[in-house]
Amino acid sequence: MPHCSEGPGRQASATKDTSERATRKESRKRILFFGDSLTAGYGLEDPSDGFTAVLARRIDSLGWDWEVVNAGLSGETSAGGDGRIDWVLQQPVDVFVLELGANDGLRGIPVDETERNLQSIIDKVRKADPAVRLVMAGMQAPPNMGPDFTGRFRRIFPELAARNGMASIPFLLEGVAGEPALNQPDGIHPTPEGHRLVADNVWEVLRPLLEAAGAR
């Protein structure tokens, strides 16, 4: 009967299609955002409003075959990230964006400790894959922590980036921090509009990196 003779062909075709899809998926390059509530999109009613999702849509619109992974965890400190990174690195990563330290600044954690933790995370990522491209998202501490602390805190991000050959986003929340209309009532976490501006800040550094990695 026709169904019997055509069945195996269909099955072989379906198997081939599945295999091709799996191969394409495995060959996709991956951008991993490793951060805290800013990356996680804390307080947003729709997770697709978060800056990582905005960036994923922007990349897709260009026809670039990259997967964006959001590994943000609300409340995460640099120490917590250092303890979590090995689990996150079970998946291959081509571009690693490090967005941690804001909670350290809010809690007044000693700057040297934050720097050690961030360096440890960088070392573990590099050990997992020496070819990975790294991006550092700069952070700032609130002014009520005092000028000495805030100055030292702000400097650790560009210094770590330079020391480790990382691309650097000078300040993730540039144009957003301190703007009531762009932040939720807590004054810390961006609104959807704020997240779009954060995405712009990241994109300015990320796009040339992806192009250099053969995005097209």
Radius of gyration of the chain (CA): 20
User: Two tokens at 24?
Assistant: 């394409």
The residue assigned the tokens 């409340």 is: 75
CA pair distance 216, 78, nearest whole angstrom: 34
- Per DSSP, the three-state class of 67 is strand
189 catalytically annotated = yes
65 catalytically annotated = no
Write the burial class of residue 46 (CB in 10 Å: 0-12 exposed, 13-18 middle, 19+ buried). Answer: exposed
Q: Which residues pair with 66 in a beta bridge?
A: 29
**Options 36, 78, 189, 195, the catalytic residue:** 189
Evaluate whether 132 touches 93 at the Cβ level (below 8 Å): yes
37 catalytically annotated = yes
**Options 36, 186, 195, 200, the catalytic residue:** 186
**Options 37, 74, 120, 168, the catalytic residue:** 37
* Positions marked active-site: 37, 186, 189
